[in-house]
Structure 1
């Protein structure tokens, strides 16, 4: 029996945004379970973070079959929390999951075939302990599978009642537009595209993805808005013990060089002049775009979660401040593009 009761005022402060042309609204900041929700972290801490997020109005929890370690562990973690604490609130939750990124050696544990996508979805529903997810994504494009087949699997997920909406992730504009067109023709409009976007990764601006989203009326949800921690003050002097750059396959110590520190120091000065942290500035920056529905953040503590949500409390960035960000926020800084 759970001792958890959700905060009654949870919807009073966190803004919600309409997703593309749909009727679905998402919180401006969503919680992603990409990291810190595998078997290598404390379940008690994971539960505390998820429940605190919901108390703050974050009703959207983003998952994938790949998240762990091991793969599927993050979904199983959330499934435990859902069963114990959040089951009475299931109709208030937006649960998303993804399939298509490799999770094993078998050719059926990767890619965009009907077999891979729909089998993974069934396994994800079992992991989560729910009959349906709100959003089901194809996690990454698969050039070896006809797009029509991958899109058809997404359509089937909706028709079978296993997903309410569908999305794509890591698609470039041309393929995203083609997917949107096929989904529209099937009567299951593309809800959202999940993409990497930050001050140090301007790809969605420069490659036309944001324009494609606007033209095709789907939303955009951003992951890595803090560039894996590079858009914080963590690495301005040195690499702290236990920092992500020491043990992450997504962030190498090699990229934390003097060029990175010089640019980041200037961005940090701008943030300080606004009375905020660099992380808060970076979140505000991605959310300034009307095409962006929500920014996905991770959290290793409730304190970190509280801090990042305060980004929504600061005044809008001025044209002059955006110019400063453009000067020092050089695309590709610290990233493997």
Structure 2
């Protein structure tokens, strides 16, 4: 276990980021996340400012989030606030994109929506594509050489796929900065499937999306509390009634740690990921000031070894 500082390295790139990033999947998304109904543009502005006030200036977005609105809103927030931030975005290798050169056009479009000349981390959003990993890595290297991108990463890649990407980029003397995958106490595939170990071996950051399992690890959907959300989010969180009951030992272990440190369940869940390995950078969402405050409270303290182990074993039981 290690969580010496509240800063983490973005692989071997030389770029340092806060140990906790901020996911902006929900920003501008009117369908799944209810932008404009359950939260507003003003809510995002307040959340953004509070993140920066607490040193959380690493934001992850993508061209497909809110059909480009997430990038636009993030760019507007940066211009209105004025403080420097670190931006990660993603290229979507959609079926209609047959040429890896289309990545450069998509990159230009993302830069325009963000209103910046350079993206700090540019990632391939998923591996399922007609485009080859080698071809995509070659074009990412071109993007770095052009100065439009500082570092490059992948997302949802298996251990084998990320090793291939790493090896191809090495031909260009460019490190693979990161692999962004789903990782939480409820979704520990990166451990079981060798992705976390590959990140350790290759010195690649593991950017953990959905670190709170779409809100489930906050405890608000426990029996007797709020009902599960819409069918889309229920499907994504993979949480049925039986699974809810099985999770009670986990919540009990998390609650004990939360009370000991005067923290929330969400803060315990995030701190557990941070304590797992120095390569892990969770990126919880923040669409309101309350969520931003809760995220910030996951830093500046650490679970004891006994608490960490108790929580880990509770989920495996």
User: Normalized against structure 2, the TM-score is what?
Assistant: 0.87
> Structure 1: where are the runs of 5+ without partners?
1-13, 332-337
Q: Which has the higher contact order (CA 8 A, sep 6+)?
A: 2
1:196 matched residue in structure 2: 182
What is the aligned counterpart of 1:54 among 47, 52, 55?
A: 52
Structure 2: distance between partners of 1:137 and 1:157: 11
Q: 1:59 to 1:254 in 2, by over 3 A?
A: closer
Structure 1: distance between partners of 2:230 and 2:247: 21
Instruction: Name the count of aligned residue pairs.
Output: 303
* Residue 77 (structure 2) pairs with residue 81 (structure 1): yes
Which runs of structure 2 are paired with 1:117-266 in the superposition (5 Å)? Answer: 117-238=103-224, 240=226, 245-246=229-230, 248-249=232-233, 251=235, 255-264=239-248, 265-266=251-252
* Residue 79 (structure 2) pairs with residue 43 (structure 1): no
Structure 1: distance between partners of 2:234 and 2:136: 27
Note if contact 1:75-1:124 (Cα within 8 Å) is conserved in structure 2: yes
- Indicate the RMSD between aligned Cα atoms, in angstroms: 2.3
* Residue 279 (structure 2) pairs with residue 287 (structure 1): no
Structure 1: distance between partners of 2:284 and 2:73: 17
> Structure 2: where are the runs of 5+ without partners?
none
Structure 2: distance between partners of 1:169 and 1:254: 20
1:97 matched residue in structure 2: 89
Once the two structures are superposed, residues 90-147 of structure 1 have per-residue CA deviations (whole angstroms, 9 ceiling, x without a partner) of xx32111101254xxx703xx7x42332221111011001111111101111352221
Structure 1: distance between partners of 2:270 and 2:173: 34
Structure 1: distance between partners of 2:217 and 2:81: 33
Q: 1:95 to 1:328 in 2, by over 3 A?
A: same
Once the two structures are superposed, residues 234-257 of structure 1 have per-residue CA deviations (whole angstroms, 9 ceiling, x without a partner) of 01134637x7x2264464687241
Note if contact 2:78-2:85 (Cα within 8 Å) is conserved in structure 1: no
Structure 1: distance between partners of 2:9 and 2:239: 36
User: Normalized against structure 1, the TM-score is what?
Assistant: 0.82
Structure 2: distance between partners of 1:194 and 1:29: 13
Q: 1:276 to 1:251 in 2, by over 3 A?
A: farther
Which runs of structure 2 are paired with 1:305-316 in the superposition (5 Å)? Answer: 305-316=292-303
Q: CA deviation at 1:187?
A: 1.6
Q: 1:293 to 1:125 in 2, by over 3 A?
A: same
Note if contact 2:134-2:168 (Cα within 8 Å) is conserved in structure 1: yes
2:96 matched residue in structure 1: 107
Structure 2: distance between partners of 1:187 and 1:148: 14
Q: CA deviation at 1:85?
A: 2.6
Structure 1: distance between partners of 2:27 and 2:220: 18
245-254 vs 28-37, greater mean Cα deviation? 245-254
